[in-house]
Amino acid sequence: MADPVRALVTVLVILQLKHFLCDYPLQTLYQVRNKGTYLHPAGILHSGLHALLTMTAFLVVPPSFLLGCAIVIGEFLVHYHIDWAKEQVLRRNGWTSADTPFWWALGTDQMLHYFTYLLIATLLVMNAS
């Protein structure tokens, strides 16, 4: 894509759609219940799905092989640890959806994921220029 602004916005839209699909329609109760247990297959599966579908952004701005690998591995590791940390905070404090701090934790989790996507989109577009 020749226009870097259009490429950046398109990649961000793709990553937001990917996030919605992975965190809502494709996320199972198994994943929700177990991603707070470190190295549980459910958390690995959830983050792996995020990392795999991140590659759809590469259709708009194809990265070099090394950058693509770094983005996918980075997305997996960052996504996994953001989710795991949020679950630790919720469990240790006993917060549920009935508690205001639960929503602050969830909002922080989502914001950190969005910042990750902003970084991914920026890396892709900057390296394509």
Domain boundaries, the chain: 4-128
For 70-99, the pLDDT digits (tens) are 999 999 999 999 999 999 999 999 999 999
Identify the pLDDT of residue 62.
97
Q: Which residues of the chain have pLDDT under 70?
A: 1
Identify the pLDDT of residue 2.
79
Identify the pLDDT of residue 124.
98
12: its two tokens = 């961000």
Q: At what angle do helices 65-93 and 100-128 cross, to 10 degrees?
A: 170
Residue 1 CA to residue 99 CA, distance in Å, equals: 45
DSSP string across 109-123:
HHHHHHHHHHHHHHH
Identify the pLDDT of residue 12.
98
